[in-house]
Structure 1
């Protein structure tokens, strides 16, 4: 399913009246909507559509909204969440906010407040998507590097000079220069500053660990 220009909204609430009400209003405003009566059905049936947000009830039978939030994080699924709740305890709110949702709305909430939160979530999901695409592109280029080039790349990102890399790797400075040139070429970054910029969101320590 392709999202509308407004984006896609997943509504998860065990109350059928609320599901129908929100689904109808959101569709009238131009969003595409899927609704689910439980967290379990969302996990089993939903598609990872972009851009999208999840409007999620906190307190539901069996799996709660907070448990679904934690399950999605474990899956690496970063769809922004807007919690809605009619009777949450303070501990529920604190636990939900630890997962950094877009908003936490108490029922009955004003519909414009929900729309404002949804639109902020769509923007955030766009950022998530751009980051995902960029990081995947960098990982693809990383796979094209030789083992030596990967080692040089990590040391370059850590700020080591050619001389420093030469000493750490026990190779000739001219060899370092060749590896460095190959790294910049394969990573499609003309200069070191460009390489640092495209890799700024990556975990260099994890890259170093992967070399061992």
Structure 2
């Protein structure tokens, strides 16, 4: 399997022996790899790649792995994280887990456990990317709707018929029918079933500017 199909792995660890070992091993296994000796270097030099996962040491000078986790959140970088740690206090582990990492592995760990966590992280990142793209595409179409069409759109997703829409919005059934047709056209969904499938699981609040 090629690197492009396996995904990308960032390794951030100030211990050069561990960093070189992991980057070499994971590279041989078909992942594309980047290794960084510090959290600051990672922030300065890395680029967002998809799907990707970050293998991150907890204790590092200047900026810890947990501080990097929190910094990434503020920057809007949502790469799944796997923490690795030689020694961690319970409060460190609790703080790290609040950021919902894929895994927290204590050194020395089994390589297979790391690989399993990497695969879970890559699968999650691919799914999140797919959802992100779909949401943006829906929002692009939704922004072309008028305010009245957006109200009709919401009622359509709730399962209301033309009659129900006309009653809710106090408009004529024929007017509701026209708005409904406009919604389907602008959302590029030939039928209501297509619109429902497109928007399945979508939080409508996420569409607001």
What TM-score do you get using the length of structure 1 for normalisation? 0.88
Structure 2 residue matching 1:5: 3-state secondary structure = helix
Shift of 1:90: 1.3
Give the equivalent residue in structure 2 for 1:106: 106
Within a 5 Å distance, the mapping from 1:174-193 to structure 2 comes to 174-193=174-193
Structure 1 residues 112 and 90, CA gap change in structure 2 (3 angstroms): same
Give the equivalent residue in structure 1 for 2:38: 38
Map Cα deviations across residues 21-78 of structure 1 (whole Å, 9 max, x no partner): 1111111112111111222221221111111110011122222212222222233322
- Show structure 2 runs of 5+ residues with no match: none
Within a 5 Å distance, the mapping from 1:128-207 to structure 2 comes to 128-207=128-207
Contact 1:11 1:19 (8 Å CA) reproduced: yes
- Measure, in 2, the Cα distance between the counterparts of 1:50 and 1:192: 32
Structure 1 residues 125 and 160, CA gap change in structure 2 (3 angstroms): same
Shift of 1:159: 4.0
Contact 1:82 1:102 (8 Å CA) reproduced: yes
- Answering whether residue 44 of structure 2 is matched by residue 56 of structure 1, we say no
Contact 2:86 2:106 (8 Å CA) reproduced: yes
CA RMSD after TM alignment: 2.1
Contact 2:3 2:30 (8 Å CA) reproduced: no
Give the equivalent residue in structure 1 for 2:74: 74
Shift of 1:3: 5.3
Shift of 1:158: 3.7
Structure 1 residue matching 2:5: 3-state secondary structure = coil
- Measure, in 1, the Cα distance between the counterparts of 2:45 and 2:135: 27
Map Cα deviations across residues 108-135 of structure 1 (whole Å, 9 max, x no partner): 1111211121122111122112112211
- Measure, in 1, the Cα distance between the counterparts of 2:37 and 2:206: 39
Structure 1 residues 201 and 68, CA gap change in structure 2 (3 angstroms): farther
Contact 1:103 1:117 (8 Å CA) reproduced: yes
The count of corresponding residues between Structure 1 and Structure 2 is 208
Contact 1:3 1:51 (8 Å CA) reproduced: no
Give the equivalent residue in structure 2 for 1:14: 14
Structure 1 residues 126 and 85, CA gap change in structure 2 (3 angstroms): same
Give the equivalent residue in structure 2 for 1:89: 89
- Show structure 1 runs of 5+ residues with no match: none
Contact 2:55 2:81 (8 Å CA) reproduced: yes
Structure 2 residue matching 1:113: 3-state secondary structure = helix
**115-124 or 147-156, larger mean C-alpha shift:** 147-156
After superposing on structure 2, the runs of 4+ consecutive aligned residues of structure 1 that deviate more than 4 Å are none
